[in-house]
Amino acid sequence: MWTSSGRIAMWRATLDDAQSHPLLGIGPMNHACTGPIDRAGHPHNFPLQFMLEWGIPALFLLLAAAGVLFYRLAYFLRNPYAVSAQDAQLAGFLACGMLAAIILACLDGVMTMPASQVTGVLVCGILLGLFPVPRVTVQSTTTALVLLTSALIISIAFLVFARQELAVADVRWKQTPLPDRGIPRLWQNGKVCRLYQEKGNTDSER
């Protein structure tokens, strides 16, 4: 508890790398695939990792979206006619849980865990579902249809990608260097791309 367990050094390195790629970042999952061979799979700080991989503008958009959601949440909780007392109490508990997760994500790798990601989506979905439903209009119906169709297309694309990845997961796992086979360090699988990069460089040299 008397040290940062290397976090300060990781944060400084992440900031330096982010300054080298400020607009578009280095790409998703590339924190684990680029840089020194002994670099951790994530910097133990989700905002810094997001800024490094997606760029500074994307980080501001993420913060703006989060700010709008929390503003709406505070507005509805303070309005006694917006939601019932029971829903307001449940929303308050869920909001406290989200704040705790956000604080933890600034110090740990909770946002890199699939279980934590799914739980966060469920909590956010329940919280948004407690908001009062606005009056339905033709424009809002069209917007909702577009958003739903886009979400379905993205979900199908992710399922296709996941199916392809599962088909080669065992092969990649066997090819992963032993030091990267931590259990249950699921994010270490992202370092497999370094293995393929090294093989590609060796083949090109030959």
The verdict on residue 121 lying in a domain is yes
Decide if 200 is inside a domain. no
Predicted confidence at residue 152, as pLDDT, reads 93
Q: Fill in the DSSP letter of residue 134.
A: P
pLDDT for the residue 204:
45
Residue 34 lies in a domain: yes
Residue 184 pLDDT: 43
Task: Quote the pLDDT of residue 60.
Answer: 93
Helix (H, G, I), strand (E, B) or coil at 159: helix
Report the alpha-carbon distance of residue 117 to residue 42 in Å, rounded. 15
* Amino acid 138: pLDDT: 56
Does residue 46 form part of some domain?
yes
pTM: 0.65
For 31-93, give the secondary structure using H, E and C: HHHCCCCCCCCCCCCHHHHHHHHHCHHHHHHHHHHHHHHHHHHHHHHHCCCCCCHHHHHHHHH
**Is residue 33 in a domain?**
yes
Give domain status of residue 55, yes or no: yes
Q: Which domain holds residue 30?
A: 1-133
Average pLDDT of each block of 10 consecutive residues along the chain (206 residues)? 76 87 82 70 87 91 86 77 77 86 87 83 85 62 84 90 78 60 49 51 46
Residue 88, domain member (yes or no): yes
Tell me whether residue 11 is in a domain. Answer: yes
Number of domains comprising the chain = 1
Closest CA to 80 of 89, 68, 70: 89
